[in-house]
Structures are given as structure tokens and as C-alpha cells.
Structure 1
Amino acid sequence: MPAIQLRGVRVHNLQNINLDIPLNQLTVVCGVSGSGKTSLAFDTLYAEGQRRYIETLSTSARQYLNQLPKPDADHVSHIPPAIALKQNASKRLAASRGIEPTVAIESGIHHYLRLLYTSLGQVVCPACQSPVISQTPESILDFLKTLPQNCRYQICYPILPTSDQPLAEIIEDLIQQGMTRVIANHKTYKLTANSSSEIIHSADLFLVVIDRLSTKSIEDQRILDSLELAFDLSSGKSVILLEQNQDIEKTAAPLMVDEKPWLRFDFSTDLICSRCNKEFSLPEPQLFNFFSPTGACPTCQGTGLISDSSSPLKTTQICPDCHGSRLTAGALAVQIQNTNIDQLCQQSIQELRNWFSELSQNLNQPIQQHVTPLLREINHRLDLLDELGINYLALNRSMRTLSGGEAQRIALTSTLSSNLVNTLYVLDEPSSGLHPVENKRVISVLQKLCHLNNTLAIVEHDADFILAADHIVELGPGAGKAGGQLVFEGPYAQLIASTSSPTGKILNASSPADLKLVPRKTDPDWITLSGVTRNNLKNINVSFPLEQLCVVTGISGSGKSSLIEQTLFPVLSDLLTKTEQAHSFSFCQSVTGIEQIDEVIFLDQSLVGQTPRSIPATYLNLFDNIRTVFAQTSDAKLRNLSPRHFSFNSKNGGRCPECKGTGSIEIDLQFLANLNMTCQECHGKRYQRELLEIKYRKLNIAEVLELTVDEAFPFFRGQPALQKKLKQLKDVGLGYIPLGQPLPSLSGGECQRLKLAAYLTTSSRNKTLFLINEPTAGLHPLDIQYVLNCFEHLLTAGHSIIVIEHNLEMIRAADHIIDLGPDAGEAGGAIVTTGTPAELAQHPSSYTGAALKKQFLNT
């Protein structure tokens, strides 16, 4: 069987491993957190696939890429071009743009919609609802043929004399061009050498007459020639003066010429409304792009919101000019099937599929052939979104308002809809944010990709994805330096039969498990929200127990984030600020029980650091202690080095001047994603050579930053302040991460646990309510116990925890479950049931209960 051959791979903690990844199959890479999965999938497979693709480019395109490093391996062969999707990719992109992206943008559909509106869009004047078209001599000829017979008319073009060119010079030029008449001041003048003294110039009426004709006998070519000349001499403007006739509808401007009534029709190659004289921009892709100055509403700069100056608080309101569409009036004037691009994006994906079906049926054959590639790409992405189970979303929905599972599937759509073949797709936990019943949708899409002769390598912990894999690679057995070995390689049947595979032992556990029937406190205090209507929530009343582990469950889009992140957290935060007048929220009628807590903290999976300068050691203030330790060494004292010199963030410190302390140089490839290359000056060490000569216990400061938390804990024996903070990282399951790992490279779950560790280091005696979104993200089942132990510590101290979660191990440990649904979008937003895990498992219509019953009760 053809396969990607990897021999002697030593990237990061990988210990000289040899393995084959079958081509055109689905391979799952699993193992405990920190075992080397990312090092294999992204830092080896994807990095080498990207490097080899770049080597196929021309020399001029590669002139800045000749230092692209090869992964540390003896041999890599048969690797296709690679595409990667990491967990935080869309979050970083959204943060860098400043303007919130939408479903349409992140799925790639908006790009094709802009091209479609450029190709098919019809400008409609918003004031008079008249179509605005760019005129041609042929279209004006068609208009003249609709007039009654025996109507006299004149073909003219307007001219505006300016102070830069005297009237005499203009008339002289017109005579040289062969013109014989002009209309000025409502009179017709014959052009002679002395005309300038006779003509009374009027700024609003100066027309050059090219031809005078009648509809009695229409000579097409003569008319076309005259109109062509008018457009050429006036930069795209022409005027038809039509002798007023009772058979002609007076839809044009009346005009008196030589004391006789005429009708004036203005035509332009520009888009100008003939009734309102309002000019519109010619449709082009950037006109429909609110990230571009061309398309962005000038009032709100493309955000759709403006600051509310009438409010004493920092609030925003919908932009009064674009009404939240983010686009200019010119962009909104362009319509297809009486729908502008903002109105189109307000429709759900299911509605859009019907809309595009109708559009295809209404297009004539030549136009349909022209836009078929655009429609094919749009329909392909809409079909994929529908197949992934999120057809209830509107394209203009902000990514910030989506649940983790919804956002993950949007990112998958963008990556998987490229229609490539013979490509390597490297994915980071596609199950992230998905309810167990939704896994099969994503698995089905991934399997179809394999059938198109693509190869998929997926970093995953979820049992459903492991079961669906054609090939499984497990790394371990431990994390960091205790990992990086090939524990298992083969099909699922061999995995569960393996005695050396930690993952196989978990999957092979067939004995039924007890589900919690009684919570830790039988009579807890409660916080209750009444009349919650945020987003899709159906006016629900919901109570949360305190000093317990409360888990909010339900399929993606059922309303979990709307309830916790967008209702409970802002309402409690506002009330706990104890301002003179707390906010009144339209989406929540009342709150009771808030006096039983002192503070509320929300821990999401957003990035805790936006630059490579942010590392775990700086986030937890560990680095200050480490720099002090190095500054107290005898060599540092001899060279008069202070803690400041050991900072890679200080300009006056000992950081590498080439990379400014980041250890890498970022190259903008423009046509590809930005590329980070190891700094050739410091070789990724961040520091100047002088600083690296200072050692503490035989390690310099760069080597200390390469230590994992587990390795650093014994290394800093005798340093209680350092060890206390390191212990908190170990307690939340982050013992495997290096102290100097850039925070943007952490997964969402790792970022969240890092935040949690920061709160564990505080000794606050306040009664705190922790709200946490999917703390198990990125965790192997064996590592989930770390988080549960951490929760136990917080609950024992009198704090309360509410968790949004899909992981069945976490749900099983809950004292109280609030299950939302039954489905997503408008079909969700209700409370299906509440209670303990055992009670939930017996509920007849709960998806979560059914998953618990299947997983733990084997029924």
C-alpha cells in the first residue's frame, strides 16, 4: 500500500521514530497530552509538505525562502502538498483584522458572492427604485426606436466652460471639430468666428449639438455614429433633446429652447440615475468588501456599530447609515433578484440553497455559462455547511456569537471545500466543540475527502473518530521527554487488543460504570435567571446550583453559549459591580440569588497572548523569579548583570538584536500563509551569546525556557515561590508544556487551563463562580482527571463551577446537568431536562442522556 514514509523523526520530543502514513486514507494520531502528536502532524508532516510545495516555485518566488528549514528527520518520502487547520487559526485571524468576521467570510462564500454581484448585479436607485444602467450607443438607439413617429430630436453632449479655458477658445475648438450649433441660455446659436461675443454663457446649460433628426426615418448607423462621437467628446455623457409631444410620457426634465418646449434625456456611460441624477459606483469586488475602504460604510468603518455617546457606559449601537450591514450605500444599491448582498447574507444557509436554485433556473444560457464556476463554488460550500448540520446559520452571523462546535465546522468548511485531490490535510481535533451525536456528520465529510484520493492526518482523542480511522498512530507513553515514542500503529481492532496502548485500554473498557445519582450537596443555594430570551433561547427559567459542578450540555447551537457566555456572565458581572444603577437587560427579566457569590469569572478558550513574546513563564509571572535566580549567580554578578538583562522583551536587555527576542523571523509570503523561520543569528535561543554563558545548575536561561513544567519543578528545588506556581500548572494538566512555548501556539483548551492555573495561584477568599467553556478541549481521556482534581480543589474551597461541555467523562462527573435543545438554532433554546447524570441517562428525548447511556451503561 502506498504510504508517506517517515524515518528517524526527531522533531521536538519525538524519539527517532519510524512509521508509515497510508496515502488516501484517514489516519488518527492520538496519545496523551504532550506526547508529540502536534510535533508529528504539524511540525513534521505539514511542515515538510509545505516546504516541498514551496520548492516547486520559481527561483524569483523563492528568493526569500531559501532558508526554509527541513524537519529533523533522516528520511521523508511520498508526501503530498499539505493543508493544515489548527484550532486557533480563525481566532488569530479575527483578532488581527479588528473587524468581526462572519460565517460568509470564514467559510469562503463571501469572496464568491462579491464576484457574483460584480458579474450579475443590477444597480437600483434607492430613492426612486429605478434601474441604473451604464448606457451605450446601442441602448440609446433602442430607446429612440420606442418613440412615436414624426418626433424631432437632437443629439447633443454637455460641456462646462471653466475659468481655465475662455469661451472663445472653446468655440474655436468646436468649429475645428466641425460642430455647427450650440444651445446656451435656452437659445440655439450657430457657431462662427464671432460667436463668443453673441453667446450668453449659462453654467447649467451649454450643449453642443451633433445632429438633428426625426423618428420618421431612422438611420441606425448615422445615429450610432453621432452617439459614439458624443460619448467620446464628453467623457461618457450624451443628451437627447426631444421635441415635446402629447403622445410622449413626461418622464424627463422639461426644457425651453428657442421658446419651444423640449424634453431632456441625459445618458452616461457611468452609473447615474436618470431621475435623481445620483451617481453610483461601478460594481467591482472591493465594493462589497467591508474590510476595504472602497466598500466599508464611512460612518462605522465597516464594523456595523458606532459608539453610543448618549450612554454613560461604553456601549455601542447599530450604525444609523448602513443599519448594521457595514457596507456603503453604493454596495447596497446593487441587487440580484431584487436582493442586495446584505439581504442575501441575512438568510439562513437552507434558504440560500433555495435562492440559488431559483437563480440558476432564471438565468439565460450565455449568462449561466459565464457564472457557472461561481455558482458551483458557492453551492459546494452551502452543501458542505448543510451536510455538517449548520444550515440554520445566517451568512452574516458574527463568528464571535457562534458556539465552539459551530465555529469549528465553519473552519472545516473553508479548509475542506478547496476541491483538491492528492493533497495531505492535517487537522487539529475536528471533534472540538461537537456533541457526540454530531461526530458522524464530520466523520462522513472527512471520509468523502479520502475517497477523492486525499490523505488525512488528524490529531484526535475522540473515540468515534478513532473508531472511524483507517489507520491509527499512538504516541507516548507519557508527555514531554517521557513521550515521543511510537506506542501503537495499526487498525482499530489491533488497538483495543493492544496491552501497551493507554488509549486502547480506555476504549476496551467494556464494564458498565455507575452514574452519579446524588449530588455532593443535596440542598444547595441557587442562582436563578427568569425570562431569558437571548438569541434562540425560548423565554426560559433556569437555576444553577452553587458550590457544585454544574454542566450545561446540548448539541452545538442549542443555546449553551447564549445562556452562559452571553447572558449569565454579563448579567452577573453587571450586578456585582455594585454601580448606582445596574444595567437592565432586555434578554433577561430577573435574577435571584446573586448575593450568595462575591465575583464571577469567565474562562473561555481565547488566546491569552497575541505575540510569540508571550510564554507561560511570563503569563504566570514565573519569569521574574527565573531572571532573579540567574542574576544572583556569581558569573552574573561578576559581569554586573541585573534581572533586566535576562529579559527578551527589553530593548536594553540581552536579547538577540536580529529577531528582537522572539527566536524567529516572520516572512510574509503574500500568496501563502506567513512563514516563521528560526532566527539565524541566535538559532532560536532569543539571547545574545554573552547571556547564554551565564548558567544556573549547568543550564543557561534559554535551556531553562526549553524545560517542561514537569522538568522545571525539580530543577528549581529550593525556590518555593517558583515551585508553587509550577505546581499549579501541573495540577491543571499542563506539566508537559515548555516554559518558553509561545502562547499563540497553544490550543484553546491549553489556553483555558493556563488561565485557570493563574486563578489557582491566588489566595482569594471570595466566593467565586467560575464559568468555563469546554475545559477538556485537547485533553486525552487520561488527562481529564487533572481538571477534575482541580475542580475538586475549587469546590472544596467553597467556590462554584458552571461548565459548558460535550465530553462524557466531564458530564459524568457533574453534580447537576442542564441539558438544552432539543436541536440547534430555532429548533433549540429550550430546557430538555435537568438533574444528575443518572437521571439524565433515563430521559427519553435527551441526546446527551442517550450518549451517557450508550457510553457508560452499555445500553
Structure 2
Amino acid sequence: MRQIKIKGARTGNLKNIDVEITKHQINVFVGVSGSGKSSLVFNTIAAEAQRQMNETYPSYVRNRMPHLMIPEVDRIENLSPAVIVNQKPLGDNRRSTVGTATDINPTLRLLFSRFGTPFVGYSDVFSFNNPAGMCPTCEGLGNISTFRINELLDMDQSLNEGAIRFESFEPGTYRWKRYVDSGLFNNDKKIKNYTKEELELLLYSPEMKPPHPLEGWYNSSVYEGVIPRIKKTFIQSSSKLAKKYQPEIQRVTQQETCPDCNGFRLNEKTLSCKINGKHLGDCLAMQLDELKLFLEQLKPKETQQVTEKIIQQLDYFCQVGLDYLSLSRETGTLSGGESQRIKLIRSIGSSLSDMLYILDEPSTGLHPQDMEAIGGLIQAIKKNGNTLLLIDHDPAVIQLADTVYELGPGAGRYGGQLLGSTDYLEWEAKQQLIPPLNRKKRGPTTQHFIAENISKNNVQNISVKLPLHRLLAITGVAGSGKSSFAEGLRQKYDNQVFYVNQKRIRTSSRSTIASYVGVLDDIRKLFGHANQVAAGYFSFNGKGACPVCRGKGYIETELAFLEAVRADCEQCGGKKFRQESLSYFYHEKNIAEVLELSVTESLSFFSAEKRISDKLHWLDKIGLGYLTLGQTLDTLSGGELQRLKLACNLDCREKIIILDEPTSGLSLKDTQSLINVFEELLNNNNTLYVIEHNTALIKEADWMIEFGPGSGKNGGTVLFEGPPEAAVNHPDSVTGRFLT
């Protein structure tokens, strides 16, 4: 068989490794989080396959495509075109849904335009993203934002005192001046004393030229009420500014179903067109298994050509355990595992062969019961004559491998070596030598937390009695109600519950470990105080930046339609700082040398600085001690990002902490480090609820609560409560069968 041959791979932490990968097989890459799996599979093989494929396009097309960096490798032979199925979200645009992301919506629109009655128009009329089809009230979003006036305004204050309670409208800001300089109000008058007309003018007025503005008013300015101004600037805009102010928006508004379209997003005319008594909005809102049944029951032969492809796609959704979703589900609400499976579905029906399929942890978000179906799909892709490269930690995925490649031995600078390649049975035999997870369970407790009438999505009016100061696993098949229960719990008991969800960290080449955990400002202040200079001199994003590379550490040369060439900056030697900044020292190290310290080394270096060491403690405890303070977030693996996020959210005492799939991207060794963190949190009188599919961790829990029996409408019921070992022989427990 032909092989993909990689010679001298040095991307990321890879140590100049050589690898030969047999084509038309399933190849699984394993190792601890940060060992170099992503550097090899994604940043070397996938990047080069995509880059070479892009070079086949005309230069004017390439110039409009993403420019991929050339991986650090001597050569790669026998590459195939790559299909990359990663865990990146499908997008958080509110107009993007499961239906639009999978292109099922356009086919359904065609179905209704051809066969719906009465005839109301062609395909575009059935799009909620087109003015011809969208509901004019909610503009195709399905819900409207209503403002909590008592949150937006302090009725006991005047405009001069800061009555508008919204960030960037504080006294002295230019937005505040739009109101006090308008000449429309008595700026010292309490809002509670406003007439109805004055309040209407302040809150809802459309754009207008004030007749008698004060001296500070700009002639080119127009006056607009607070609410329409906030809507335009922060709600209807998709800018970075709008994203920044999302917490403020959530505080002063509440979402309500649109009263005119009842959440279906479409206008009255479009919703009047029906097939078998259902309009398009009904179909988009159905669970996918229900929609499949509805389409299969359509009688006319003419519809078969249109519905056949949809039914096939819906069948794939059901096979991978996503039957509980609806086409109207916004992509921004999907988990990483759900997003990845949807991307996988796009590839299943393809007749292309000799492709390279690269999958990032296909087991993420899957209950053990669903793994058999995923395995079948992976095997089907192989049978089509394709090569698969998978990164995963789940034995249910690894057992599919024809060859298992292990990287390590450690993470970060301690990894990056190819430890060997074997078949699954040989790899499994080696795993028997690794100690299992080790946790001393805590016995029964008389202290409990009673959660009453929790309602969210498919979880309705659930009341449970949960042990306090214990590790509790929340289990169940995908879509059974685990996250809905957790979110409902957080909303009802906000002061007692701290919820760390699965939302991914935004990565950037300008954001470092030190800046993300919040110690960089403290370090800069220490340098400034020790050297009697401004702290800004120790920022590579500010005054301290090297003037040549502007704090990047490298120089990138654009070569028109060719790939950019990147080289270390000769001025700063890749250190990012200007020479003056590097001439100042703190405890005999300059700022660049401090940022090169690992987290573990930093704990010793800053042992006298409690503000810094306290923030770094959890990083070291959770197993990320090998990361350097100056390492940028865009270089981290998925498992490292997951633990980084957890570590920054665990400085709690006497809280109920909910963690959504904390073992994502973690090996057995990494999971043991996580359990050690759990024990410290429990010792601080916290209670830990973990939403998990990882049976190894579930077994170590003190208590387990399982939702089911199915997904979506077929879930939301508590099937089991008790110690995990008691679930093994419980007749209603689905998870229990996998805990033996």
C-alpha cells in the first residue's frame, strides 16, 4: 500500500520527527493533551494538504482565500486532498441554523414553492433571511428583545447623576453627551419625575435634529432615543463592539417569542402555504426524526425527487444520535461535538474517493451507546477508498484503528516525539500497564441541595435531592436533558451555582497564557515599580513593542499571489520587545525571560507575589504547568484550551460548580490531574456536578443522576439517582450498562 511520508516535522513542539502513514486505512493518533497530535495531524499534514490544493486554483482566486502558513517540515509525500472535520463551531450568527448550515433549508423551500398550497411565490419567499419571506416584526429572528426599563434607567437619578445605566453611557462619555447636550431635558430632574412624554422622548424617539441644543452639541449630530440607539449599535450590529457588550445587553433586555410569527421567523403570507396541513415553519421546528417521518408520508411521486435527498440526510442525523435537533436550532447553541457530527454528515454522502479525512475527537459529546453508529460511519468512509486520520482518547474510537500512533512522552516542550506505531490490540495491551483513575470516594452525607421545579427545554418541572460537597456525574444520551437541567439550575439558583459551559476560548496570536489568566498586568507593574518606569514599556502590544515587528516577534513578507514568508525578527530576535524594555530587570530577569518561564517555574519565581501565584496555582494543579507564560493561545490544543478555561474558573468556595464535559480532549493521565483538582475543590466545601460521557470518570463519582431515556422530546426524565455502581444492574439506566 502507498504511504504518506512525513520527513523532519518541526511544527509546534514536534521534535524533527519522521512518520509513515498507510493510505486507505484508519489511523488514530493518541497521547496526552499537548503531546503534539494536533501539531502533526492538523498543523502539518492538514495544513500542507489544504495549501497545496489551494495552489491549483488561479492566482486571483487564491488571493481571496485564507492564506495558510507553510508547516515546518522537510517534505511530505503522497498527500491526498483533505476534508477536515474539526470541533470549531459552525458559527454564532443568529441567522445561521442547522437547516441553513446543512443546505437542507433550500431544498425544503423548493418543496413548498412547488407543492405547497396556496401558491405564494418562489423559493426566496420561504427564506427567513430574505426580506420577501421574513417576518417584518422580528426581521426573521423569531424573537424580539424587550427592554427592562428598571435595569436600563435608575429612576431616582437625573441624567447628570448617571440615570442611564448602560456601559458607555456614563457621565462624561460622548454617548451621555448626546442626551445632556440635546437641550431636550432638564438634566438635573429625576427620571421618576419625568412626564410620560419626556420619558417617551428619552427612550424611544426616532432620529431628529433637536431644536435648541446646548453649547456642547455638534451641528452634524442627530438625537435618538436610548433604546433605538442601543438596538442599532449593540443588538442589530454584528461588530466586535456588539459582542463586547453582550453581557450588558443580556442584563437590560429579555428575549420574547415574536407575537406575529410565533417564533417561526416567516411572514404571514409565507406561513399560509401548507403541505398536508404543515407550513414550512412547522417543518423547521420539528425534531429531525419527526420531519423524516413527515416527508416519508408525502404521497405524490413528483415530490420524491425533492424529498429523497433530504430524507437521506435526515437518516444520517438519526444515525449519529442527532435526531433530537431541529432545523430551526441556531448553530451558535450547538456543542462542539454536535457541530462536528453535522460536519461529518456533510461528508458521508460524498462519492469522492482517495481523499484524506481528518477528524478531531469524533467521540466528543457522544454517549457510549452512540459510538457504534459513529464507528459505522467512519468505516463507511474508509470503504469508499479514503484515508482517515483521527485524534481521540476514547477506546471505542481507538479500536477502529488499523494503526495507532502515539506521541509524547509528555506535553508541550516535553512532548513532540513519535513513541511508536502499533495495531489496536498491541496498544490496548500497553494500556493495561497504566494505573486506572484513583480517587477515594466520599461516603453518604446528611447535607443535601434540593432543586425544585427545574424547567428548561425538554426538562420540565424536575425536582431532585442532590448530595452536597460531593462529586456528582450528570449522565444520559446526547440530547437527553443534561445541559438543560444544568442551565435551568443555574438560572433558578444563580447565587449558589457556578456554571462552566463548553463555549470555546477565542484564540489569538496576541493573547498569551499570562494575559488570559490575568497576571500580565501585575507582572508589568512589578517591572515598572522595580525600574521606576511606566508599566507600558513591558507590553509587546503597546509601548514596549519592537518597532520593527510591532510586537509580533516575526516579519511576514507578502509575495502577491504566493504564500507569505515568515521569519524571526532580526531586531528583537523573536522576543517581541524593544531593546530598551529588555534592558530592565526584575529579580535578574528581563520581561522576555520572565515570559519564557513555565507556569511551574513561575510559581517559584513569583512565590512572594500572592496575586500572581494564586492565579497560576490552578493551572499547575490541573496539569498545565509546562506551558510558558508568554505562549500564545493560538498554539494550544483543544484539551489544553479546555483545561485553561477550567483553571481560570475554579477559585471558588462553598459553591455548586457545574462543569460541562471537563474531560474533552483529555487522556487518562490528564483526567487523573483533573480529579486531583476536583478533590481540592471539594476540600474547599464546594459541590461538583460534571456533565460527562466518560465512563472512567463517571465510575469515580460519589453520586450519579441520569436523564433519558431518549433525546429531545423523548428525554428530560430522571431515569436513575444513586451511586454509579448501583446503576450497573438498574433496569432503567442506559449508562449503567457501560460502567462494568
Asked if 1:731 is matched to 2:616, the reply is: no
Structure 2 match to 1:468: 400
Q: Distance in 2 between matches of 1:810 and 1:749?
A: 16
Structure 1 match to 2:55: 55
* Shift in CA distance, 726/540, structure 1 to aligned 2, threshold 3 Å: closer
Q: CA deviation at 1:776?
A: 0.9
Structure 2 match to 1:654: 545
Which of structures 1 and 2 has the bigger CA Rg? 1
Q: Distance in 1 between matches of 2:484 and 2:553?
A: 38
* Shift in CA distance, 770/778, structure 1 to aligned 2, threshold 3 Å: same
Q: Is contact 1:88-1:747 (8 Å) kept?
A: no
Q: CA deviation at 1:336?
A: 5.2
Structure 2 match to 1:349: 288
Q: Distance in 1 between matches of 2:629 and 2:731?
A: 48
TM-score normalised according to structure 2 size: 0.76
User: 1:384 aligns to what SS in structure 2?
Assistant: helix
Structure 2 match to 1:302: 140
Q: Is contact 1:353-1:382 (8 Å) kept?
A: yes
Q: CA deviation at 1:704?
A: 5.5
Q: CA deviation at 1:685?
A: 5.2
Q: CA deviation at 1:11?
A: 0.8
Amino acid at match of 2:42: F
Q: Is contact 1:476-1:486 (8 Å) kept?
A: yes
Q: Is contact 1:335-1:341 (8 Å) kept?
A: yes
Q: Which of 429, 443, 466 is matched with 1:544 structurally?
A: 466
Q: CA deviation at 1:629?
A: 5.2
Amino acid at match of 2:315: D
* Shift in CA distance, 415/693, structure 1 to aligned 2, threshold 3 Å: farther
Q: Which of 76, 83, 102 is matched with 2:97 structurally?
A: 102
Q: Distance in 1 between matches of 2:336 and 2:475?
A: 13
User: 2:676 aligns to what SS in structure 1?
Assistant: helix
Amino acid at match of 1:647: S
Q: Is contact 2:357-2:386 (8 Å) kept?
A: yes
Q: CA deviation at 1:472?
A: 0.8
Q: Distance in 1 between matches of 2:321 and 2:67?
A: 43
Q: Which of 792, 796, 804 is matched with 2:679 structurally?
A: 792
Alignment of 1:226-625 (within 5 A): 282-285=121-124, 287-291=125-129, 295-309=133-147, 314-329=253-268, 331-333=270-272, 335=274, 339-359=278-298, 362-364=300-302, 372=305, 375=307, 377-399=309-331, 405-414=337-346, 416-498=348-430, 503=431, 505-506=433-434, 520-537=442-459, 539-565=461-487, 567-573=488-494, 576=495, 599-609=496-506, 611-625=508-522
Q: CA deviation at 1:700?
A: 6.8
* Shift in CA distance, 660/421, structure 1 to aligned 2, threshold 3 Å: farther
Structure 2 match to 1:188: none
Alignment of 1:697-716 (within 5 A): 705=595, 708-710=598-600, 712-713=602-603
* Shift in CA distance, 441/495, structure 1 to aligned 2, threshold 3 Å: same
Q: Distance in 1 between matches of 2:718 and 2:565?
A: 50
Q: Distance in 2 between matches of 1:752 and 1:66?
A: 26
Q: Is contact 2:29-2:37 (8 Å) kept?
A: yes
User: 1:89 aligns to what SS in structure 2?
Assistant: coil
Q: Is contact 2:448-2:468 (8 Å) kept?
A: yes
Q: Is contact 2:106-2:123 (8 Å) kept?
A: no
Structure 2 match to 1:253: none
* Shift in CA distance, 47/407, structure 1 to aligned 2, threshold 3 Å: closer
TM-score normalised according to structure 1 size: 0.66
Amino acid at match of 1:572: Y
Amino acid at match of 1:346: A
* Shift in CA distance, 663/807, structure 1 to aligned 2, threshold 3 Å: farther
Q: CA deviation at 1:813?
A: 1.6
* Shift in CA distance, 296/483, structure 1 to aligned 2, threshold 3 Å: same
Q: Which of 664, 672, 691 is matched with 1:804 structurally?
A: 691
Structure 2 match to 1:81: 81
Q: Distance in 2 between matches of 1:734 and 1:9?
A: 24
Q: CA deviation at 1:481?
A: 1.4
Amino acid at match of 2:105: H
Question: Which whole-Å deviations, capped at 9, do the CAs of 1:158-192 have from their partners, x for residues lacking one?
Answer: xxxxxxxxxxxxxxxxxxxxxxxxxxxxxxxxxxx
User: 2:515 aligns to what SS in structure 1?
Assistant: helix
Structure 1 match to 2:232: none
Structure 1 match to 2:165: none
Q: Distance in 2 between matches of 1:110 and 1:664?
A: 45
Q: Is contact 1:664-1:676 (8 Å) kept?
A: no
Q: CA deviation at 1:46?
A: 0.9
User: 1:606 aligns to what SS in structure 2?
Assistant: coil
Q: CA deviation at 1:433?
A: 1.2
Q: Distance in 2 between matches of 1:744 and 1:292?
A: 36
Corresponding residue pairs, total? 634
Q: Distance in 1 between matches of 2:580 and 2:271?
A: 59
* Shift in CA distance, 743/684, structure 1 to aligned 2, threshold 3 Å: farther
Q: Distance in 2 between matches of 1:795 and 1:71?
A: 44
Q: CA deviation at 1:344?
A: 1.7
Q: Is contact 1:605-1:749 (8 Å) kept?
A: no
For structure 2, the 5+ residue unaligned runs are 152-252
Structure 2 match to 1:113: 108
* Shift in CA distance, 108/446, structure 1 to aligned 2, threshold 3 Å: farther
* Shift in CA distance, 14/462, structure 1 to aligned 2, threshold 3 Å: same
Structure 2 match to 1:181: none
User: 1:60 aligns to what SS in structure 2?
Assistant: helix
Q: CA deviation at 1:809?
A: 2.2
Asked if 1:643 is matched to 2:582, the reply is: no
Q: Is contact 1:475-1:488 (8 Å) kept?
A: yes
User: 1:352 aligns to what SS in structure 2?
Assistant: helix
Q: CA deviation at 1:744?
A: 6.5
Amino acid at match of 2:361: E
* Shift in CA distance, 497/524, structure 1 to aligned 2, threshold 3 Å: same
Q: CA deviation at 1:540?
A: 3.4
Q: Distance in 2 between matches of 1:662 and 1:111?
A: 46
Q: Is contact 2:582-2:592 (8 Å) kept?
A: no
Amino acid at match of 2:535: P
Q: CA deviation at 1:354?
A: 3.2
Amino acid at match of 1:626: I
Q: CA deviation at 1:605?
A: 1.8
* Shift in CA distance, 742/122, structure 1 to aligned 2, threshold 3 Å: farther
Amino acid at match of 2:145: S
Q: Is contact 1:515-1:838 (8 Å) kept?
A: no
Q: CA deviation at 1:452?
A: 1.1
Q: Is contact 1:29-1:472 (8 Å) kept?
A: yes
Amino acid at match of 1:26: I
Fraction of identical pairs, as percent: 36
